[in-house]
């Protein structure tokens, strides 16, 4: 099919009733690409339209062309193009949209590297060629999504539609709303943008015990609903053996589902943090005492997965007859992550939602640990030992879960919301391949709109790498760099390669210290040797990448200064103590100024304003004074001639001592 800018007639777009939004999107993009105005109609034309026909969804034209429901892959779409017609049909209005955006990307060159209309790539063509084809495309991982409201103060209302729009254009299908406060505050927007227009699956609720059994309502009169901890009732989790707890939580979950029929998945997740589980005799009899090989804190080491899963099964068994099409996410995290040893199979309507909070991101989950690794293991890095367990944990949950198994991930580098560089796209891709090999359904990652530029490539990989696991990551990375950085794609790729190399064996977690360590002297020297003359938008985007690296270097200098000051404060030299504290103050002040000027408000910081930024940087300073310096940590060496953020102290090639 050929669509020309100067053609006498534009193509006619025919849609099924549920695909009206897809029709408007098709008309809007074709108008921008080749001009003209395509009529969009639900009624089938009496004769072949002069400008050709584009059929979207379950239309009569699709059926006549042989694109019937039976020929469309589950969770995917089919594209059939002939000389004067194109048919795009998914198995839902969401997947029909996926097919349309795929057509625009692969035939017209459109791209949506990050959220927002100012970043999309829409070529203007004299002629759009759509060669004959018959493509049937199904995703490798069925669940691909983002958490939409990671922090209430970063989920700006005007950005929600942009985030959802980006997700669907890049083939995602799952939106997670972690808090009920976020859901109630923005329910109308979520329903309009996600459900009504696009058909995105919505899950609500992550850590939910306190929502379904609120302590401020029940604890005073019924402390027995809550855990017995060291002989005292505390509102940490719930008493899973108390039948009244099951009754109340069942009623409250049912009331939410009745009031929110558009929600596909509702969470039954244990409370976050060091919430001790019940030690009453009835609860203790459920699960013998054992400790997790991956527990990263004492409170997370005692395994409670059997207790938790049996409790969730009771709830779902009561809810399932009233809500046979709903799903219930079971959060397998910290104390509930290690699989139960025996006697448990999750209810068929349960989704097993795993969260490897304690993992590292310098290696994929399938990296494993060798005998030699144990000999050289840093005692400050016990998370290394956990890597031998991760694939077997996934396999074990897959065996006892008839429904879906997917991940709650941290690919956007939460690191205390301060957005250090986090070049983990290769790690992500290997994780996706592991999921596919084990029959894991995919997952979603924590995120918020201010992350979309800071972690643009990670977002892009979460969408495209999970949809198709086989193409090399170089291909996905190059697509993103060309679309976002334009003529600076090669420079951005070179800088990213340096960061990616520094990430290897860095033991990086998503903490600030864990990720800022990847800023190495070689990277700072590269920035010095490749300055940007900011004249265009593409120049500004590359400079933004530079700014984030420089920002991370400032953070590392702040930690170095805090470590040095702590040593000085233990001595008797007053002048030395004063100099050390003054150095910390000066770097902290410059860090605040630099971040506020270059990153804040530009979707590169996960904080809403300068006051919150200062509070969090101050928290990092306080933490650095308290923490034990890791064995492998070394002060940042500043290369000759490098002046970090205009502090006025060009490097001499020596470690930064403040």
Divide the 658 residues of the chain into consecutive groups of 10 and give the mean pLDDT of each group.
Answer: 90 95 97 94 90 96 96 98 96 98 98 95 96 97 90 54 93 94 85 90 96 97 96 96 98 97 96 87 90 63 91 98 98 92 93 89 75 44 61 94 96 72 93 96 87 90 95 96 98 97 80 81 96 96 95 93 86 84 94 93 84 91 86 84 80 49
What six digits make up the tokens of 110?
């459109």
List Cα–Cα distances, 173 to 75, 335, 359, in angstroms. 9, 29, 26
Per the CATH hierarchy, to which homologous superfamily does domain 143-218+239-276+293-475 belong? Glycosidases (3.20.20.80)
3-class DSSP state of 231: coil
What six digits make up the tokens of 432?
């996706």
What is the rounded CA–CA span in Å between residue 50 and residue 55?
15
Contacts of 460 (CB under 8 A, 6+ apart): 113, 114, 170, 476, 479, 480
Q: Strand (E) positions, 184-280?
A: 201-204, 228-229, 232-233, 265-267
Are the beta carbons of 171 and 242 closer than 8 angstroms? Answer: no
Q: Other C-beta atoms within 10 Å of 345: how many?
A: 13
- CA-closest candidate to residue 551, choices 490, 616, 484: 616
Rg over CA atoms, the chain: 27
Residue 359 confidence (pLDDT): 82
What six digits make up the tokens of 219?
């604890």
What is the rounded CA–CA span in Å between residue 489 and residue 580?
41
What is the rounded CA–CA span in Å between residue 39 and residue 26?
10
Q: Other C-beta atoms within 10 Å of 129: how many?
A: 11
Residue pointed to by tokens 């999750």: 346
Contacts of 321 (CB under 8 A, 6+ apart): none
3-class DSSP state of 55: strand
For 489-533, give the DSSP string: HHHHHHHHHHHHHHHTTS---SSHHHHHTT--HHHHHHHHHS---
What six digits make up the tokens of 474?
């170089």
Are the beta carbons of 171 and 464 closer than 8 angstroms? Answer: yes
- CA-closest candidate to residue 366, choices 395, 340, 339: 395
Tell me which architecture the domain covering 2-137 has in CATH: 2-Layer Sandwich (3.30)
DSSP state of 64: H
Are the beta carbons of 225 and 218 closer than 8 angstroms? Answer: yes
3-class DSSP state of 86: strand
Full-model pTM:
0.93
Contacts of 260 (CB under 8 A, 6+ apart): 183, 187, 204
Start-end ranges of CATH 3.20.20.80 in the chain?
143-218+239-276+293-475
Are the beta carbons of 404 and 104 closer than 8 angstroms? Answer: no
Residue 416 confidence (pLDDT): 52
Contacts of 72 (CB under 8 A, 6+ apart): 78, 89, 90, 91, 95, 136
Are the beta carbons of 238 and 280 closer than 8 angstroms? Answer: no
């Amino acid at each position: 099919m050929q669509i020309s800018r100067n053609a006498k007639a534009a193509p006619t777009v025919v849609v099924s009733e549920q695909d009206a939004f897809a029709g408007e999107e098709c008309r809007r993009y074709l108008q921008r690409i080749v001009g003209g105005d395509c009529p969009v109609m639900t009624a089938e034309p009496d004769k072949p339209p002069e400008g050709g026909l584009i059929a979207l969804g379950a239309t009569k034209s699709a059926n006549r062309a042989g694109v019937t429901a039976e020929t469309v892959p589950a969770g995917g779409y089919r594209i059939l193009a002939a000389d004067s017609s194109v048919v795009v049909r998914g198995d839902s209005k969401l997947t029909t949209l996926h097919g349309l955006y795929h057509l625009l990307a692969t035939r017209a060159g459109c791209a949506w590297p990050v959220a927002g209309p100012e970043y999309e790539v829409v070529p203007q063509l004299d002629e759009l060629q759509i060669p004959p084809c018959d493509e049937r495309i199904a995703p490798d991982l069925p669940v691909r999504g983002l958490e939409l409201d990671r922090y209430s103060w970063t989920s700006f209302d005007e950005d929600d539609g942009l985030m959802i729009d980006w997700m669907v254009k890049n083939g995602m299908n799952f939106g997670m709303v972690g808090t009920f406060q976020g859901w109630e505050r923005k329910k109308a927007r979520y329903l309009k943008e996600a459900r009504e227009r696009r058909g995105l699956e919505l899950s609500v609720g992550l850590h939910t015990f306190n929502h379904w059994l609120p302590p401020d309502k029940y604890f005073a009169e019924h402390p027995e609903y809550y855990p017995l901890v060291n002989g005292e009732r505390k509102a940490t989790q719930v008493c899973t053996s108390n039948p009244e707890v099951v009754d109340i939580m069942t009623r409250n979950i049912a009331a939410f589902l009745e009031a929110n029929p558009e929600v596909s998945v509702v969470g039954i997740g244990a409370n976050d943090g060091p919430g001790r589980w019940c030690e009453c005799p009835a609860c203790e009899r459920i699960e013998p005492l054992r400790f997790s090989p991956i527990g990263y804190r004492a409170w997370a080491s005692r395994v409670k997965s059997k207790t938790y899963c049996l409790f969730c099964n009771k709830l779902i068994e009561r809810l399932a007859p009233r809500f046979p099409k709903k799903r219930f996410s079971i959060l397998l995290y910290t104390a509930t992550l290690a699989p139960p040893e025996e006697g448990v199979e999750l209810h068929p309507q349960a989704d097993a939602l795993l969260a490897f909070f304690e993992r590292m991101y310098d290696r994929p989950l399938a990296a494993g640990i060798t005998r030699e690794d144990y000999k050289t293991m840093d005692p400050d890095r016990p998370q290394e030992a956990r890597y031998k367990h991760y694939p077997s944990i996934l396999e074990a949950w897959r065996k006892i879960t008839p429904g879906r198994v997917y991940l709650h991930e941290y690919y956007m580098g939460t690191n205390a919301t301060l957005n250090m560089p986090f070049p983990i796209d290769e790690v992500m891709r290997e994780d996706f391949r592991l999921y596919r090999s084990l029959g894991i359904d995919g997952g979603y990652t924590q995120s918020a709109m201010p992350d979309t530029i800071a972690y643009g490539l990670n977002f892009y990989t979460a969408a495209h790498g999970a949809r198709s696991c086989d193409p090399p990551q170089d291909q996905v990375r190059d697509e993103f760099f060309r679309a976002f950085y334009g003529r600076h794609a090669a420079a951005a790729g070179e800088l990213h390669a340096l960061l990616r190399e520094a990430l290897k064996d860095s033991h990086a977690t998503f903490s600030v210290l864990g990720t800022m360590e990847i800023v190495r002297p070689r990277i700072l020297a590269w920035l010095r040797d490749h300055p940007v003359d900011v004249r265009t938008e593409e120049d500004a985007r590359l400079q933004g990448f530079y700014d984030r690296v420089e920002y991370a270097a400032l953070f590392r200098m702040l930690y170095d200064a805090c470590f040095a000051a702590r040593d000085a404060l233990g001595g008797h030299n007053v002048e030395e103590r004063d100099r050390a504290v003054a150095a910390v103050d000066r770097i902290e002040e410059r860090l605040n100024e630099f971040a506020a000027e270059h990153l804040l408000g530009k979707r590169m910081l996960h904080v809403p304003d300068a006051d919150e930024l200062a509070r969090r940087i101050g928290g990092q300073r306080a933490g650095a004074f308290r923490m034990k310096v890791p064995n492998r940590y070394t002060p940042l060496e500043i290369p000759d001639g490098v002046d970090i953020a205009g502090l006025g102290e060009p490097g001499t090639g020596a470690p930064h001592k403040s």
